[in-house]
Each structure stands twice: as C-alpha cells, then as structure tokens.
Amino acid sequence: MQTTRGGKFSFSIDADSLVRGLRPSKRVPRNSGYLIKSLGAVGKDGVLQVLDEITRLATTAITDGFPYPQIFVFTNVIIICGETKIYEWIGGSLVLKLTVAAGSTWTAVDFFDYVYMSNEKVAVIRRSEDKIYTETTDLPTCMSACNFNGQVIIGAPNVGYAL
C-alpha cells in the first residue's frame, strides 16, 4: 500500500515479503516476491536492524601526515594508530597505549580482546587477559595480515622495513 501524508511517501511491506527476505541472486526477477535491496539496515542475528550511528572520532592529537591516523574498528575495541603511537578509543577520547619505532602503514587482526598488529618494523599484541599493548619478538612482523576462518595469514613475514 502506498500513501502520501504531508508530502511524504510511505510503503508497507507485507509479511510474506519479509519472510522471504532479500532475493538470493540478481538473476531472480524483481516481481518474484523477494525484497530487492536493503538501505540503512543490515541482517544481524537473523533480524533486519538499523546500524548504530558512529560518532566522529576526535583525532586531532595525531599530527602525522598521510596516511595517518589509521582507524581499526574491531569487535571489542577501536584502535587508532599514528606513525609511532597506538591509541585506544575509550569513553569518547583517545588514550595512548604504546609508542613504537616508525615503520610502514599498520595492519591488524582481532580476536575479540586479543589484537595482533604490525607496521613491518615491529609486532605488537594487545593481550586479552589484561588488555595491555606490548611489543613482541615472539611473533613475526608483517606487511599485511588477515583472519581467514580463525587462521591468521600474514604477508611478507619478517621482511622488515627500511626507511
């Protein structure tokens, strides 16, 4: 049903269309009873929900040039990196966690409270038990990293970075 109230357009979706959800492929025709696209909402926990509004992060404390600051929004933590400083976004402000040697751009992977990150010069972990950032030599440095089904895959391990 389409109606206009005060110049605004509204559209009601029947229960059958909601049950079927989004069409599984673009090959499915538009008039087949599936929804076509979702704008402003995502499927989360099996329910269509609106995304939380992200507040603007005040990163004026980081004066390093491009490409900094680098912002990593992880499952349980938001990490903001400058060239040599690692900050955590806590309670609406930046909290300095660690200062390390300069390297290349940062790469990072998270496992909830545990985070591994590297700038090709150093490897840094955020320990899950106490959430403290430490530089480590037990893990390799790397140029890139990703989490593939729980396995950390890194590119260019221990190659190093020359300024």
Banded pLDDT at 56 (limits 50, 70, 90): confident
- Quote the CA–CA distance of 111 and 13 in Å, as a whole number: 38
- Dump pLDDT digits (tens) for 9-47: 666 777 776 777 778 888 888 778 787 777 767 666 766
CB 99 within 8 A of CB 105: no
pLDDT exceeding 90 applies to what percent of the chain?
A: 49
Omega prior to 67 cis, within 30 of 0: yes
- Dump pLDDT digits (tens) for 98-138: 999 999 999 999 999 999 999 999 999 999 999 999 999 99
Query: Could you give the C-alpha distances from 123 to 7, 12, 62, 101, 137, in angstroms and in order?
Result: 57, 53, 21, 10, 7
What length does the chain have?
163
Banded pLDDT at 50 (limits 50, 70, 90): confident
Domain boundaries, the chain: 6-50, 70-155
- Whether residue 1 is predicted with pLDDT greater than 50 in this model: the reply is no
